Chains A and B, each alone.
Chain A
């Protein structure tokens, strides 16, 4: 029993509810939300240390013992993601303070950011499959509100598509849960894993695993990403950054969890399909990233490529590849948020999103230009930035497993990533300046500081990879040895 475990979800929920009463006190709303995120990050760091010494933690809600009650389970993997989520959300809030505008802040913007974070953290921490569905829905409902807030024509139109596609994928999730419950008779994740290991993964269960794959592919944007690029460009910058940094990652987390904990007995079927889907995602995502001239679309297609890359690690399935996926997942949450924030800042400064219509920004805004320079190299995986270790480990894993096609595609996609963001760098920042010093819009600190923090994090994550490695190793160890998870959930007092 450790009640701290529920805090990353319960504190944002409580804060979100309380902030509804403080609708007109914007300062209260801002700083409460910000402090809650920092507190969550602190709790996460503390729990991470506890997990290293005491093993996987668990909290049974209302004292109902597993497999009967709902529970939260914290292993290194989920806690690492909780910490990253809290930091990313805090930085996005910091960016929102100066950019989102009062009309948003009075329409419960901060409440819904809190609910979104609560849903994301809950999805990471839960140990019950139906609870995972509920947390997904909390996150999605908050995201529906955030995407539609502002009410511009294009926003409304895109959000309808976004909502409909997510309703459909939630329906598939329910169907998958129903079938799994019908054939296994439990919803506790550890218990499901144990029972599947006892009975063996029958063809029926493999079919159910495919339904789960469809669900999480829709949510994470693996192959079925057709809804993603257009809907991520319509909300305001801070919201788009939150979405780009967090939402698809929850789908990826769920996919990794489900296919390492439940359906790991038939990798020749399931993991091969994941591999093929990841390969196609890498190819089409790369084409998308170089095809468009709208810098927001280039950024969203980069999200898609990253999803493919992380799931290459899952498809390969060696310990090193899984470790690489975890590294890359953490890296990607930070650097994609940063990319979205920078792209949004550029658009705010130039009031255009077309590549052709801007140039020479580095002469007006040198700091911004250099930040973008660092992001380009971090995305491409140049050492010593944070993308490098993830790419290296996934590649090593792929070599070890002999999946040379996936390896080649993953590395070629990195070149496409580099090319697509270099294009932004060359078109927007290089060349003759288009803004004369009189019409230069000042770049305020509120927009610059969040970008600086995240850039610091991506550099720090690259240089400090050695400090992170024991935690990531522990996370990968738990993922690859489901009995550790089962033991901690089912048999420890």
Chain B
């Protein structure tokens, strides 16, 4: 398949960054508003999938040298790890905590352990979705 996809390449290079930004926004807004790790992860995965569709798979593989199965496993580990983390403080499994901190640049910021959990979820989603797509694509 040696078609000339100049337009697709040009658009994708631009759009991928917009998608990445949107995914970060969705991820962070998830604490109080609609959004969250799952949706953020799906959008992030769609950015990767778009790259894989538009460019050569091998080229992207070199540029993003992750084993996406391991990304998923790392995410699952982080999520389950927050559950175990609460055991260290003698709380119930999966207990979450939050607090307000004065950070130099951001001002008063709410920091929560749920965000760590959600990071794990997002990584799982990215890893799983990209793995599924790649394992089907590679065969064709």
Contacts and interface: CB of A to CB of B under 8 A. Distances in A.
Interface of A: 1, 3, 6, 10, 13-14, 17-18, 20-21, 59-63
B76 A59 contact: no
Given A20-B69, A20-B70, A14 B96 contact: no
Contacts of A10: 80, 83-84, 93
Given A10-B84, A21-B70, A62 B95 contact: yes
Interface string B75-87: 0110011011011
Contacts of A60: 92
A3 B92 CA distance: 6
B73 interface: yes
B84 to A, nearest CB: 7
Contacts of A61: 92-95
A6 B93 contact: yes
Given A14-B84, A17-B77, A62-B92, 4 more contacts: A3-B93, A61-B92, A61-B93, A62-B96
Interface of B: 69-70, 73, 76-77, 80-81, 83-84, 86-87, 91-96
Contacts of B70: 20-21
19 contacts: A1-B92, A3-B87, A3-B93, A10-B80, A10-B83, A10-B84, A14-B80, A14-B81, A14-B84, A17-B76, A18-B73, A20-B69, A59-B92, A59-B93, A60-B92, A61-B93, A62-B93, A62-B96, A63-B92
Contacts of B73: 17-18, 20-21
B122 to A, nearest CB: 16
Contact of B95 (A17, A18, A63): A63
**Pairs A-B, 7 closest by C-beta atoms:** A20-B73, A62-B94, A6-B93, A61-B94, A17-B76, A63-B92, A17-B77
B124 to A, nearest CB: 10
* Residue of B81, B84, B94, B95 contacting most chain A CB atoms (<10 Å): B94
A1 B80 CA distance: 19
A116 to B, nearest CB: 16
Contacts of B92: 1, 3, 59-63
A336 B31 CA distance: 48
A321 to B, nearest CB: 36
